[in-house]
Structure 1
C-alpha cells in the first residue's frame, strides 16, 4: 500500500467523543434559546459538533501524545457549555492556534448543502470565512440571514425614532448607550414587528371578535364525515380526543350527544373529577365510530368522502382568556362561528400541489391536495396579510433612516418569523397535552419531518400574545441571535454539482439522507409565505412558484416515475458528480467532511441500501475514507421517537482523494483486514456509548474505511466487489465480533444470555437448563449459587426482570457475574435512585465493567429481535447513561458514596 503523502489532521487520529456527544445532547434537549429557533430546518446537526469537527479537521495531528492531549482538551473546552456558546478565552485560544497553523491566511469553508447553516456558523465562529449553497431557497434564506445579513450589521445601534414616528414606534427597548452584538437589530425588529402586527390588526382584526366573557385564545376544530349507514346519515365528528384540559382541579372536556341526526357538543369545564367518553378514533388507521349510531366509518369510506370533497370541519370548543387573566373553555357562540365562516379564501395565493400521497405526506389521500388546503380560510387570510405588511417593512426602515443592509436584515428576520407563524398556524397544529401538568397548548407542524393527516386541530389568534402568536415567534427568533456569528460569509442558491470554492479550502457538509426527509416537498410549506413577503428583497431565491424539486439529490420513487431503482441510481449518479466536482474545492492539505445518517428503520435491507448508495458515490468519485466518527446528535427524548421519522446517530466520514497508486485487494485479504481491525473499532464505539440501536450503522464507518483504501476489491472471478456486497461482509464481521465478545463472558452470564433468548423472564424446565449449562463447564447449581436464577420446583427462572437487592456489590457475592452487574445497574438506573445510585455501583464493578457493557449490547440485540420493547428500552437507557455513570463513579457523590 502506498504511503500517505499528506500530514494527518487531528480528526483522522483522535476526537473527544464523550464530551462532543454530551454537548450535542444538551443542545438537542434545549428547545428554545438556540440558533435553531431562528427558523425550522430538518435534522440540523448540533452546533457544538460542527465546532469540534471543523477545528479537528483544520489542525495537524501533532504526533506527540502530550500535544495531542492538549488539543483534545481544547476541543473539550470548546464544547463544555453544551447548548451555550464557548468561553471567549477558549475560543480565542482556538482561533490563535488556527492562525499559527495557517500563517498565510485561514482557508474558507464550503457547505454545498447548507441546511440551517450550522457548519458555516461554526466556521465563522472559529474565524474562517464561509460559503453556503443549496438548491432549495429555504435553507439558503436561513443560512444567508445568519452568516451574511446579520454579520454585516453586528454591533450597530438601533435606529432613532423620528419626530414623526407614531406612538406604536416608541418603545421601552430604546435604552441609552451603544448597542453591542445584535442588540441594535433586536430593538428594531421588535419595533417593526409591532408595527406589522398593528397594521394587520387594523385590516383583519374584525374577524377575531372579543366576547363579553373575555378574549378567545384558541379555537379547537375537528373534521367531520357523513355516516354511510342509510338509517343514520349523521355528520359525525372525527376527533382523536374529547379532552380539552387534564390539569388537576381544572379538567375540561367535550361530551357529544346525538339528537336525531344532529350531534350536539357540550363543553364541561373546570371539573375536579370525571372525564370524557372514549374518542371516536378506532385503532391506528383512519377509522372512526359514528357518534350517533355507533357504526364504524372505515378508512376507505373516509378516503372516499375526502376525495369527493365532502369531509367537513366543525368548531368544537373555544378557550377564552377572562378579564382576570384566568382561562376557561366554552362552546362556540354564533359570533365565533360567523367570524370563522365569513372569511373567503384570498384569491391571490398560488395553489401549489402537495403531489401524490406518500409515506411522508398523507393529506392527499383524503382530498387535501394543495398547500392552501392545509389551512382554514381565516388562517390563510392571517398569513397573507402578515406577508403583505412585511413586504412594506423595507421601505418603512429606509424611511426611518436605515440603510439597505439594515432594511434587508430587519425585513428578512420578519420574513423568517412569518415562516414560524405558519408553522403554528395551519390545520396541522395539534392540541398537545403536557404529561406532567395535564394542561395543553398548541404544537405546530414538523415535530417530525412529515405532513400527517390531522383530524382535530387548534386555530391560534396570531394577534394575541399567547402560544404560537406573532409576538411569541418574533421573541423566540430574537432569542436565537446571540448564537449567530459575526464573520464573513455568502449563501447562494446553486446545485451542489456545480458549487465551488475559490480559493480551495475545507469542504464540510451534511447532505440529504437518501429518502429520510423530503426537503423540497416539505419546504413548500414555508416557501409560499417567504416568497410572498421577501421576493423583492431576495429575488434570486424566488424565481419559481414552488420550491425546486428537479435536481434535488434525494431518492424518492415518486420523483422518478415510481421506480425505486431509478431513484437510487439518480441519487448515486448525482452524488458521484457532486463529489467529483467538490474535489476541486478541497485544499490539498485538508480533508473533506461528509456527515451522513438516515432515519431509524426496522428494515435492515432498506438501511443498507441507503448506506450503500452514499458510499458508492464516495468511492466511485475516487475518494478514500480516512476516518469515521459517530456523533449522537440526539436528545433525551430519543427513545420515545424510535420507529418515527427521526435521524439516528450521525456518522462523520473524513475523506481524501484516493492515491493514484492505491492497491487492489482480494476478498479474502479484505475479510482478513476486517477481522483484524473491526474488533478494536467496535470496542471503541461501545466505549463511546454508541446506542445499541445505532451500533450496526456506526460500525459501517470503520468497515468502509478499510474497503475504501483499496482501488478495488475483487472476487475470485476477477469481478469488482460492490459496496452492497462489502456491507454484507462488514455486517458478517460485526456478527463475529459480537460473538467473540459473548464468548469472552463468564460461563454463567453466557448461560443466562442464551436462556433469556429462549425463555425470556418466563420459567423453563430444569432439564433444559441442565443441557444448556453443561457444555459451558458449569451446572445449574453453579448458576443458582451465582444468584442468576431461582428455582420453582422443577423449573427455573432468570433473575433480573424485577427489582433486585440494592445492597448487592461484587465484593459481597461469592461468584459475581456480568449478568448480575448489568441488571443491578439497570435496576438502580430505571427503578432506583437513577444515575447517582447506578454510578455508585459502577464505581465498584472493577473488572466486571467491560463485560457488563458487552453483555448489555447483546441483550439489547436479543430484545430488539424478539420485539421485547420494554427490555430493549431498559438496555438502551443503560448504554445511553454509561459514559455519565463512569464519570460520576470516579468523582463527586458517587465516588464518596462507595466509601459508606
Structure 2
C-alpha cells in the first residue's frame, strides 16, 4: 500500500533543548521509572522516544500550504506543536491522560484519523514500544535476546491484558478503584510479601541478628551487609600456611568527621591478624586506610610481611581453587543509623553448618545455575576467571541458598494465585482456568524480576560504597572482579533486600499506561514479521560497545529456573543465543575485519528487510549511540559509525535529518573539563527513490557548498550546541550523499562513507572559517593567534605579520584589551585578566572577542542569571556575532585538545535560548545601577 508523502515535523524542526533537558532529568528519576523494572544496558530515554515518535507521525506545517500559506503561519503552528512536545516529555506528565490525549489527537489528525502501529525490530529494553503504547499506538517489538523479550512482554504485552482490573489477593485492598496496571502492581506486592514469608520460614535462621558492641549500646541488631575479603595463601614461604586478605580499602564510612575504618592488628609471631573498628569520634582518621592491602590494579601485599602479591600469583592460586574468603566487617541497622562491627566479632559457625546442609539438598542444589559462563567477566580477554566457571560461582554459599530458595518459591506463588482466583466467589474475567494461569504467570514473571534485582545486589561482585550503600554487580556494562565484596541481607529493610526489590518492580508497573495493545516476540530483526504499514522507530545495537547476550546470561540462568517452565518458548536454550547477535565481536568472529564484515552484512540485511516494509508516509527513526572518544578532529569517523552508516545507505535509505539526543546536561558550566557529547544521534530516514541517479565527486562537493551553509545557519539559529554541531551537520551533509545511488570518484569507483564524512566535516570547517570574515579585524587576529598559541606567549614578529595581513597592528589589538605585548612577546589575556568593570557601550574600541570573553566569564560565574543576561542585551546587534564566535572558538579548542576551554563555549550556546529569554526582560543598567538605553 502506497501512502501519500508528507513531510513530518521531525524532518524540519523539533524542540531539541526541551527534549534533551527532560531526557537528562529522567536519569534522576528512580522509583516508578520503567527502567527499574529490570536492568537493561544503554536504554534510550523515554522522553526522547516519546518526542521522536510524536514528531515522526505529526505533519510539519509546510505539508499543508493551504492551511499555513506563509512562513510566519508555519512557524506559529510549529511553536504550537513544540508546546505539545514540551508538555509531553515531562516525567510528571507520563501518566497525565489530558496531555497524552492532546498528543494522540495531533497524531490522528496527521494519520487519517487512526493511530498507526509502531514496530521496533531491536526492542531491547523496550523503551520505544512502551512510549508508542503510551501514545495509544499499537506497539510491536522483537529481539533475539530472550531476556529483552521478557522485559518487553512485561512492559507492553501483559499490562493491556489486565488493564483496569482490581487485584485478586485476599488481603485488604489499597484502594477501591484501579486504573491501568495498578491492580496488577498491588498483586505483585502482596504475593511478593507472601513469598518473602515463605522464604524466611525456610532460611531465616541463616540470618540471625548480631550482638552489638557496647559502644553502640549493646543488644541485638539486624545485619544489612557483611563485608568479605578474598584471600590467598601468603607468597612468603615462611607464612605460606596463612590465608591473607586482598583488600582494596579499609574505609567503611567516609563522611567527613564521621569516618569509620578497619585497623589491622598484626601478630606476626603467631602468624595471625585481626581487625578492629576505629572511628573519627575516637581517634584521628587514618588517611592510609583508603588503600587497604592493594598496591596496584590487581596487585596486593601480604598483610603480615608486606611481601608483594602480584596479579599472576593471584590468578594461579584462583585457578588451583586456593582463593578463599574472610569476613572482615558487618554493618547493622540501628535507630536510623549504622553500626560498624569487626568481622572477627561475628559468629558464623552456626550459619556455615546449616548452609552446607541446605546446599546438599536436591531442592536447593537443583536450582543452582550450573551453565558454564563465558564472556561475562570484563577481564576474560586476559583469561582470568578467578575460580568462577559456572554462574552459581558468582555467589558465595549463603547467597546461593537465598537465591535458590527464592527461585523455588515461584512455583508455590503460581499455585497460590491460581487457588485464590479459582476459589474466589466473585465474578472475575480471570477466573477461568486458562486466564488464571496466564495471570499467575504474569505475577510470577514480575517476581522473577525482583529476584533478578536481588541477584544484581547480592553476588560476590557487589561492593560496599563508603558513602553508605551497596554498589551492584552491574555498576558498569560488564562484571569487574572485586576483592573485598559485600553480602546483602535479603531479609533486611536495606539495600539489596527482596521486599525492596518487589517494591521497585511494583512502582514501575503502576506507571505503565497500556493505552493500546502490544506484542513482543523473539526473532532476529531480519526474520521478524513486520506489521503492515508500521512506523519504524528503533535503537539497534551499537557496533562493538555492548555484548548484550553475554551480559544478560547472568539473569537468564536464574529466570530459566524461576519462570522458564511458564514461558517455555523463550527459555528453550541453555544460554542466550549469541551467534546471530548483531554486534562486532572479534572474539566470536575471529578478527576485527571479520567482525566488521559480520556487523555490516547483518545490519544491512536487517535494515533492508525493514526498509522494504515500512510505510511511505512517515520517516524511519534510527537511534545510534556513540561514545565521546569517537569524536575526533575529523568529526565522527570511527569504524563503528562508518560501518553503521554504510549499512543504512546500503539498505537504500536516504538520511534526511539527524538530531543529537543528550542524556547528560554536560554542557553546563559545572561540567567544565568533561565536555561530554550527546549520547545518541537520531537518524531520520526516508526510502531512497528507485530513480536516484549517480553523481561525480565534484558535483557532490558543489551540492555540499550550496546546501550545507544554509542548513548550518539554521542549526545555529536553533542554538544547537557547538559540541553537537558536527553530528547535526551530518544530517544535511549525508542527506546530500545518500540521495544519490552512488557518488563516483575520478576512477568511477563509488565514494566510501568515511570519505563523504571527511568532506562534510571539511565543509563545516570552511563554513566556520568563513564566518570569521564577518568579524572585526582585531577579533580575526585573536582567533588566528589563539589557534597557533592558545593562551601562551608567542613572538612579536609573528604577531605583527598576522596583524598586518588584517590591516591592523599589534598595538591596535593591545588597545582593544585583547592581548598583552611586552619584551618581544605577545599573549592573549585570560578572561580573569580582562577588565572586570568593562562596559560595552562605553568602549570606544569594541570587538566581538571582548564581548564573547566577558559574556563567557559572567556565564561561568553566574550561569543563566541577571548579570549575563544584561550583558548579552547590551551587545545589541553584536549578539549574533558573539554566538558565531563561540562556535568558531569551540572548534578551535577541539582541534587544540583543550576540553576545558571548549566546554566554556559549548555551555554558553547550550544556554543561549535561556539567556536571550532573560535578556528580553532584563533592564539595561550599568554596574552602578543607572539605567542605560544606548547600545
Aligned residue in 2 for 1:191: 190
Matches within 5 A, 1:115-134: 115-134=124-143
Q: Which residue of 2 aligns with 1:286?
A: 298
Which range is displaced more, 677-686 or 387-396? 677-686
Q: How does 1:340-359 map to 2 (within 5 A)?
A: 341-342=352-353, 343-344=355-356, 347-348=365-366, 349-356=368-375
Superposition deviation, residue 331 in structure 1? 0.2
1:420-819 map, 5 Å: 420-433=453-466, 439-486=467-514, 487-561=516-590, 563-601=591-629, 604=632, 607-635=637-665, 648-688=678-718, 690=720, 692-790=722-820, 795-800=825-830, 802=832, 807-819=837-849
Q: 1:268 aligns with which of 278, 281, 289?
A: 278
Judge conservation of contact 1:888–1:894 (CA < 8 Å) in 2: no
Cα distance in 2 between the residues matched to 1:125 and 1:451: 34
Work out whether residues 251 and 260 of structure 2, in 8 Å CA contact, stay in contact via their aligned partners in 1: yes
Match of 2:425 in 1: none
- CA separation in 2, counterparts of 1:893 and 1:330? 61
Task: Indicate whether 1:69 and 2:76 are aligned.
Answer: yes
Render the CA deviation track for 1:52-103: whole Å, top value 9, x for unaligned.
2212222233323435633542343233352222553332222223333334
Distance 2:41 2:15 in 1: 26
CA distance in 2, matches of 1:446, 1:684: 42
| Inter-partner Cα distance in structure 1 for 2:572 and 2:837 | 69
CA shift, 1:853, in A, is: 3.7
How much has 1:104 moved relative to structure 2?
6.5
Q: Which of 199, 209, 222 matches 1:215?
A: 222
Aligned equivalents of 1:602, 1:610: Cα separation in 2:
9
Q: Quick one: structure 1 residues 114 and 675, their matched pair in 2 at CA, closer, same or farther if it must change by over 3 Å?
A: same
SS at match of 1:548: coil
* Cα distance in structure 2, aligned partners of 1:647 and 1:477: 32
Query: Which residue of 240, 243, 262 maps to 2:248?
Result: 240
Distance change >3 Å, CA 641–CA 850, structure 1 → 2: closer
SS at match of 2:464: strand
CA contact (8 A) 2:659 2:727 kept: no
**Alpha-carbon distance change, 751 to 147 in structure 1, aligned in 2, over 3 angstroms:** same
Task: Give the deviation of 1:581 after TM superposition.
Answer: 1.4
Preserved contact between residue 74 and residue 94 of structure 1 (Cα < 8 Å): no
Q: Of the candidates 84, 96, 103, which is equivalent to residue 105 of structure 2?
A: 96
Distance 1:807 1:328, change over 3 A: farther
Q: 1:507 to 1:307 in 2, by over 3 A?
A: same
> 2: CA distance between counterparts of 1:204 and 1:363?
38
**Corresponding residue pairs, total:** 880
Superposition map of 1:366-445 within 5 A: 366-367=385-386, 368-401=388-421, 403-433=436-466, 439-445=467-473
Aligned to 1:58: 57
CA distance in 2, matches of 1:894, 1:375: 66
C-alpha separation in 2, matches of 1:820 and 1:140 = 57
Report if aligned partners of 1:48, 1:79 keep a CA contact under 8 Å in 2: no
Contact in 2 for aligned 1:257/1:291 (Cα 8 Å): no
Provide the alpha-carbon RMSD of the alignment. 3.4
Does the CA contact (< 8 Å) of 2:370 and 2:391 recur in 1?
A: yes
Secondary structure of 1:457's aligned partner: strand
Give the match's secondary structure for 2:681: strand
Contact 1:140 1:492 in 2 (8 A): yes
- Distance in 2 between the 1:731 and 1:610 partners? 17
The answer (yes or no) to whether the contact 2:53–2:132 under 8 Å persists in 1 is yes
Partner deviation per Cα, 1:547-587 (whole Å, 9 max, x = no partner):
111111111111112x1111111111111211221134312
CA distance in 2, matches of 1:555, 1:34: 31
Residue in structure 1 matched with residue 424 of structure 2 by the alignment: none
What's the CA shift for 1:765? 4.7
Quickly say closer, same or farther: Cα 1:396–1:730, change in 2 above 3 A: same
Does structure 2 retain, via aligned residues, the 8 Å contact 1:19–1:76? no
What is the distance in 2 between the residues matched to 1:416 and 1:548? 20
Q: Name which of 320, 345, 349 aligns with 2:332.
A: 320
- Offset of residue 415 of structure 1: 1.6
Q: CA deviation at 1:113?
A: 0.7
Cα distance in 2 for partners of 1:396, 1:142 equals 24
| Alignment partner, residue 164 of structure 1 | none
Q: Answer yes or no: is the 8 Å Cα contact 2:701–2:759 preserved in 1.
A: yes
Q: Is the 1:597–1:647 contact (alpha carbons within 8 Å) kept by the matching residues of 2?
A: no
- Separation in 1 of the partners of 2:733 and 2:687? 18
Q: 1:893 to 1:374 in 2, by over 3 A?
A: farther
C-alpha distance in structure 2 between counterparts of 1:224 and 1:823, whole Å: 57
CA contact (8 A) 1:152 1:405 kept: no
CA contact (8 A) 1:507 1:592 kept: yes
Q: How far apart, CA to CA, are the structure 2 residues paired with 1:123 and 1:291?
A: 58
Gaps of 5+ in 2: 63-67, 213-220, 422-429, 431-435
Out of 332, 343, 361, the residue aligned to residue 343 of structure 2 is 332
Which of structures 1 and 2 has the bigger CA Rg?
2
Q: Secondary structure at the match of 2:93?
A: coil
* CA pair 246-583 structure 1, distance change in 2 beyond 3 A: same
Helix, strand or coil at the partner of 1:159: coil
Verify the 8 A CA contact 1:351 1:371 in the aligned structure 2: yes
Quote the Cα distance in structure 2 between the aligned partners of 1:258 and 1:650: 53
CA separation of 1:848 and 1:259: change in aligned 2, threshold 3 A: farther
In 1, the alpha carbon distance for the partners of 2:48 and 2:74 equals 22
The 8 Å contact of residues 227 and 235 in structure 1, kept in 2 or not, is answered as yes
- Residues 1:822 and 1:483: Cα distance change in structure 2 (over 3 Å): farther
From 231, 234, 250, the equivalent of 1:224 is 231
CA 1:203–1:359 in structure 2 vs 1: closer, same or farther (change >3 Å)? Answer: closer
Does the CA contact (< 8 Å) of 1:20 and 1:48 recur in 2? yes
| Shift in Å, 1:546 | 1.1
Partner residue in 2 for 1:182: 181
